[in-house]
Chains A and B, each alone.
Chain A
Amino acid sequence: MSNVIGTANATVDPRVQAIGVEESGGNPANDSRPVGETPGRVKDTIVKAILWVVLVAFAFGFLYPFLWLISASFKPRGEVFDNRIIPNTFNPQNYAEAWDKLPLLSWMGNSILIAVLAATLVTLSSSIVAFGFAYFKFPFRNQLFGLILATMMLPGAVTLIPTYLIWNNLHLVGTTVPLWGANLFGSAFYIFLQRQFFLGLPRELFEAARMDGASYWGLFWRIAAPLSIPSFIIVFIFEFQASWNNLQAPLIYLNFGSIENFTVPLGISYAMTAYSPGNGGQGDYQWVMVAAVIVTLPMLILFAFGQRYFIEGIATQGRKG
């Protein structure tokens, strides 16, 4: 019965199809190729149509907050909360005002600096470590690699306070160093991901380079690294995104003194309180919306260019289980 729905996928073997049709109660016209099965085709089309309607409905649901955000960022103060997708009054000067009211340029500068440093350092350090695990044989290699995987399970809360104290003892609280410093030492998931990639490279390549007198570092830097650009990109954009979106670390390490030192997320968190109505704020929420657009836009651009790397990276995450 319901197997008719499945026939779109099942047109491979006419013999198989014939049996299926017999069981489903008979369609005399259908004894050879799928040309004759009009009723199935119609049903297929209906199912496809419903499917598309559902997909479009969900797409609208997922996109609605973006539309709402962009539109609110162009509304004058009194209309921000009116839920209109097309603003009644178009007020692009919000962007200029927000630029005046909030140190957006400093925030973006801080965020970009931190994200670039964090992503670059973690890409390099993780790939060096990963190459160590992928290429070399040494005692306890598998145990150490197991340890790396185990650290992925460790809840961040356990090391939160000692990490703060380490940076505090180094007098680096209040600087951006705690937001990227630990990336010098590699990160478990990225090490795992890049090791997978290195293991996929043909070993003969390295043997040949050894014959030609390449050093171990040369194997990594001249052979493995250039061939692993895709995995470098995956790690870089994942860490860039994680750093750009991070809220808790700036709350801990930068949330005092001048607001100029904030990152964009920390700044928005501050602005949400300062400019939302009712909390003693002034209610100029359109500026918060402008800042929210500005923090989101780079991520959407990053995704536009790096989509396949994101998808690949996420899928790898699933495979490790």
Chain B
Amino acid sequence: MTAVASKSEAAAPVPTTPAPRQVHKRKFNRREAVAGYLFIAPWIVGFLVFTLGAMIYSLVISFSRFNLAQNTATPVGFDNYNQLFEDPKVMMSLGNTLFFAILAVPLEIMFALFLAMLLNRVGRGAGIFRTLYYLPKMTPSVAAASVFLLLLNGNYGAINRGLALIGIQGPQWLTDPAWVKPSIVIMTLWGVSGTMIIFLAALKNVPRDLYEVASLDGAGKVRQFWNITVPMISGTIFFNVLVLTIAALQVFDQAFLLFWRNQTNASPEASLFYAVYLFQQAFRSFNFGFAAAMAWLIFVIIMIITFIQVKFGNRFVYYEGDKD
């Protein structure tokens, strides 16, 4: 009986019929239950210390002024939270980060889906391209940034040289405040292949005959895309939007490496991302209380955005057969 339940789960990680509910009413084998808890004990300890404990600690710190030298936290009430709204850099960095996410996520989704569809079309030979397209994802962010720092240089960078070939005068990517976010978007798009692979797996699961039937009915490629492809992979699109949004709201490496390694920064306002400012407050100025309050603010914002996306997504996602 147990075997049946776990096997049906294993066979299909994709939504199936919900597991039978009477599981809870079963009497547990005590020995087995104890062994189970022992096996998951490492996670429980880690969770209690590094997740739950850390979250509570973080909450306490956010209501205190923390003195690292003496390791003491003096309660200050809502001071740190009030300061969130008084410090213009908090709202500025939040605005920058949201703007970046709104710019980056749709472009990442479109580009990744486009590439996945190309690879899905090509059939034989897709393997080599998939490999090549995946390489940027393997590249450490420091290596990528050390190259893009020069590719994006407004005066002699390869990107503007390339644009000049087709008669376009490229912008000062890294120093013009208006082009700071697009610069990071370009770097992000270069590494979009993880999302592409997820889309490719989803596309392979769309039954071929749907397209055949549609094309018999005279549906063109564009209609087939909107009426078959998009609904059939809507769950994957939704998942990717969710994950990429959360990632975009926490963007750190690229912003730090391109702009904040040292004090010289030509556009200190446009390039101040939330995670960078939080990092500076925490580990450069050691304002732990304020930084913890910043962390809770972005936590709440991410939760709200995710909640809205899930609400909205449930209407958009097409579930085949049942909901799970």
Chain A residues near B (Cβ < 8 Å): 1-3, 5-6, 9-10, 12, 16, 19-20, 23, 48, 51-52, 54-55, 58-59, 62-66, 68-69, 72, 80-81, 83, 125, 128-129, 131-139, 141-142, 144, 147-148, 151, 153-166, 168-169, 182, 184-186, 191, 196, 199-204, 207, 216, 220, 241, 244-245, 247-248, 251-252, 264-265, 268-269, 272-273, 276, 279-280, 285, 288-289, 292-293, 295-296, 299-300, 302-303, 307, 310-311, 314-321
Q: B147 near A69 (CB under 8 angstroms)?
A: yes
- Using CB atoms, name the residue of chain B closest to A12: B212
Q: B26 near A137 (CB under 8 angstroms)?
A: yes
Q: B212 near A318 (CB under 8 angstroms)?
A: no
Q: A68 near B13 (CB under 8 angstroms)?
A: no
Q: Does B267 lie at the interface of the complex (its beta carbon under 8 Å from any beta carbon of A)?
A: no
How many A-B residue contacts, CB cutoff 8 Å? Answer: 336
* C-alpha spacing A154/B306, complex, angstroms: 11
Q: A216 near B35 (CB under 8 angstroms)?
A: yes
Measured between beta carbons, the chain A residues less than 8 angstroms from B279 are 248, 251
Q: A295 near B35 (CB under 8 angstroms)?
A: no
Which residue of the partner chain, among A138, A252, A288, A292, contacts B32 with CB atoms under 8 Å?
A138
Residues 6-29 (chain B) with a chain A CB within 8 angstroms: 6-7, 9-11, 13-14, 23, 26, 28-29
* C-alpha spacing A68/B162, complex, angstroms: 14
* C-alpha spacing A52/B236, complex, angstroms: 26
Q: B143 near A292 (CB under 8 angstroms)?
A: yes
Q: List 20 additional contacts besides A9-B211, A303-B134, A307-B134; criterion CB under 8 Å.
A: A3-B215, A3-B216, A12-B212, A58-B133, A65-B148, A68-B158, A128-B42, A129-B39, A135-B36, A144-B40, A153-B302, A165-B71, A166-B50, A168-B71, A182-B46, A185-B49, A202-B7, A272-B142, A314-B194, A319-B201
Q: A65 near B190 (CB under 8 angstroms)?
A: yes
Residues 25-72 (chain B) with a chain A CB within 8 angstroms: 26, 28-29, 32-40, 42-47, 49-51, 53-55, 57-58, 61, 68, 71
Count how many chain B residues have C-beta atoms less than 8 Å from C-beta atoms of the other chain.
Answer: 120
Q: Is the interface of A mostly helix, strand, loop or mixed?
A: helix
Q: B161 near A83 (CB under 8 angstroms)?
A: yes
Q: B36 near A132 (CB under 8 angstroms)?
A: yes
Q: A247 near B49 (CB under 8 angstroms)?
A: no
Q: A265-B141, A288-B146 are in contact. Are A16 and B55 (CB under 8 A)?
A: no
Closest chain B CB from A48 CB (angstroms): 8
Chain B residues near A (Cβ < 8 Å): 2-3, 6-7, 9-11, 13-14, 23, 26, 28-29, 32-40, 42-47, 49-51, 53-55, 57-58, 61, 68, 71, 115, 118-119, 121-122, 125, 129-136, 138-151, 153, 156-158, 161, 190, 193-194, 197-199, 201-202, 208, 211-212, 215-216, 218, 220-221, 235-236, 238-240, 242-243, 246, 249-250, 252-253, 256-257, 261-262, 264, 275, 278-279, 282-283, 288, 291-292, 294-296, 298-299, 302, 306
Which residue of the partner chain, among A72, A135, A186, contacts B42 with CB atoms under 8 Å?
A186
Q: B58 near A317 (CB under 8 angstroms)?
A: no
Q: A199 near B9 (CB under 8 angstroms)?
A: yes
Measured between beta carbons, the chain B residues less than 8 angstroms from A318 are 197-199, 201-202, 236, 239-240
Closest chain B CB from A208 CB (angstroms): 12
Measured between beta carbons, the chain B residues less than 8 angstroms from A265 are 140-142
- Using CB atoms, name the residue of chain B closest to A64: B158
Q: B57 near A162 (CB under 8 angstroms)?
A: yes
- Using CB atoms, name the residue of chain B closest to A267: B142
* C-alpha spacing A321/B29, complex, angstroms: 32
Q: B298 near A161 (CB under 8 angstroms)?
A: no
Q: A185 near B46 (CB under 8 angstroms)?
A: yes
Q: A16-B212, A136-B32, A247-B257 are in contact. Are A158 and B58 (CB under 8 A)?
A: yes
Measured between beta carbons, the chain A residues less than 8 angstroms from B119 are 55
Q: A166 near B49 (CB under 8 angstroms)?
A: yes
Which residue of the partner chain, among A19, A158, A269, contacts B257 with CB atoms under 8 Å?
A269
Q: A-B pairs with the 8 shortest C-beta distances?
A: A185-B46, A321-B239, A132-B39, A136-B36, A318-B198, A199-B10, A3-B215, A138-B33
* C-alpha spacing A169/B68, complex, angstroms: 10
Measured between beta carbons, the chain B residues less than 8 angstroms from A285 are 150
Q: A317 near B51 (CB under 8 angstroms)?
A: no
- Using CB atoms, name the residue of chain A closest to B223: A2
Closest chain B CB from A242 CB (angstroms): 10
Measured between beta carbons, the chain B residues less than 8 angstroms from A207 are 3
- Using CB atoms, name the residue of chain A closest to B34: A138
Closest chain A CB from B20 CB (angstroms): 12
